[in-house]
Amino acid sequence: MSSVIVCHACDLAHRLDEIAPVARVRCVRCRAELYRTSAATLDTAIALAASALVLFVLANAYPLVALKVNGATRVATLTGAALGLYNQGYATMAVLVMFTAILVPLAQILAFLYALVPLRFGKRAPAQRTLFRLLAALRPWAMAEVFILASLVAMVKLAAEAEVTPRIALGAYGLLMFTLTALGSITPTEQLWQWIERRHA
Amino acid sequence: MSTPVTGLSLGLVVCGRCRATLRAAAGHARCPRCGARLHARKPHSIATTAALLITAALLYIPANLLPVMHTHTFFSDEDDTIMSGVISLAQQGSWPIAILVFFASIVVPLLKLLALGEIVIAVSRKSLRNAQQRSRLLRIVEFVGRWSMLDVFAVSILVALVQIQSLAIVDVRPGALAFAAVVVLTMLAAQSFDERLLWDANTRD
């Protein structure tokens, strides 16, 4: 069966005669990714999402970095980073940090679990369509990897004047970053929809 | 070269969210697969992108001139701008980090403003030859854009950490807000631009 796929980036129409089950097809004109599916199974995606949830809890429950000066230790947590801005009257920035570093990753994890676990058992979660659409919209706003790098920058800035040490949550958040990246790369949008369509065919 | 066959010419439309190819004649207002609103082209793409971009360009000035952070210690009171933050990292000898911050906070925002500005002007003049290069540029801009949040996050962590009365106090300054706005606005500008416009002009040639 041949089907027509139109490139979302340059609108060029392609006729695909047969697509391998696991494939990555690029637009011949603008090189945008037309179509991608992964070899990963639903189980792998669920396992990664579950690990991400555990890491997310750890990353929020413990301090990220500690600062030691004159015997006194001060720690910063993930939410503390957002609250600090809020306390200084920069609520907009606090919301931005909260959203990109905490809420979006959490929303992604929960949306994946909520939609994929029922799918694993052949059921359809209510509002699944809306959630998958939301997942696609949120992707550019998840900034775990930027936050990790920023923690390192902050530590280097302070290292000249005080003793700074990374704490458990920084490691957990670092692993969370890798887990979410892996989850994102094995669940291209096309793959998510194929899982749904196959279960409900 | 023969005229490229486009979705528009075949009466096909691509869903902006789930990228399903659909028949426009079926008259769907929403994508039957994911429920997103369907548009052959993003509505008012150039105007939206241009408006966001101009706002970002204006805010780029205070973002760089105003201090983003104030450090108060026993010995000194210091205002740091984005650039002076980079310089002090370099003076401290942390060259890799200084270069990283320089790219994320200074090069990337400027590149975004210039690249998107050039693309919007080119498309609105409909004088297009280099669609290939411009589309590559646009994708680079979309890919690196988020990294400019680096400084915003770094300031937030410093503020949370350094609040011991006896040691030092780090305060946020308005420059940081302007800078964060530049990052968000340029991200939205890149997202609201419809890449197909680059190629539409080409198809008409």
Q: Where are the alpha helices (DSSP H) in chain A?
A: 42-61, 78-87, 91-97, 104-120, 128-138, 144-159, 168-186, 189-199
Residue B167 has pLDDT above 80, yes or no: no
pLDDT digits (tens, 9 = 90+) for A81-135: 999 899 999 999 999 999 999 999 999 999 999 999 999 998 888 888 888 888 8
What backbone phi and psi angles, to 5 degrees, belong to A165? -130, 140
> What mean pLDDT do residues B51-70 have?
96
With an 8 Å Cβ cutoff, is A177 touching chain B? no
Same structural domain, A81 and A26:
no
Same structural domain, A32 and A78:
no
Distance CA(A26)–CA(A29), nearest Å, equals 9
CB contact under 8 A, A12 and B19: no
Same structural domain, A44 and A86:
yes
Establish whether this prediction's ipTM goes over 0.95.
no
Number of domains comprising chain A = 2
Distance CA(B161)–CA(B193), nearest Å, equals 39
Q: What domain range is A23 assigned to?
A: 1-36
As its CATH architecture, domain B43-204 has: Up-down Bundle (1.20)
Same structural domain, A99 and A161:
yes
Distance CA(B95)–CA(B87), nearest Å, equals 10
Residue A100 · residue A78 · CB < 8 Å: no
Same structural domain, A130 and A150:
yes
Q: In Å, how far are A7, A8, B6, B54 from B116, measured between CA atoms? A: 21, 19, 24, 10
CB contact under 8 A, B171 and A83: no
Same structural domain, A10 and A83:
no
Same structural domain, A50 and A146:
yes
Residue B205 has pLDDT above 50, yes or no: no
CB contacts < 8 Å between A and B, how many?
Answer: 198
pLDDT digits (tens, 9 = 90+) for B74-106: 777 889 999 999 999 999 888 999 999 999 999
Residue B127 has pLDDT above 80, yes or no: no
Element housing B186 (H / E): helix B174-192
Strand residues in chain B grouped as ranges (E): 12-14, 21-23, 69-73, 77-80, 168-172
Same structural domain, A22 and A70:
no
Residue A190 · residue A36 · CB < 8 Å: yes
Chain A residues within an 8 Å CB radius of B159:
81, 84-85, 88
Chain A residues within an 8 Å CB radius of B9:
13
pLDDT in tens, chain A (201 residues): 468 899 999 999 998 877 777 788 899 999 998 888 888 889 999 999 999 999 999 999 999 999 887 777 888 999 999 998 999 999 999 999 999 999 999 999 999 999 999 999 988 888 888 888 888 889 899 999 999 999 999 999 888 778 899 999 999 999 999 999 999 999 888 888 888 887 765
Task: Provide the pLDDT for residue A58.
Answer: 97
Q: Name the residue in chain B with its Cα closest to that of A155.
A: B158
Task: Provide the pLDDT for residue A3.
Answer: 82
Domain locations along chain B: 1-40, 43-204
Same structural domain, A58 and A152:
yes
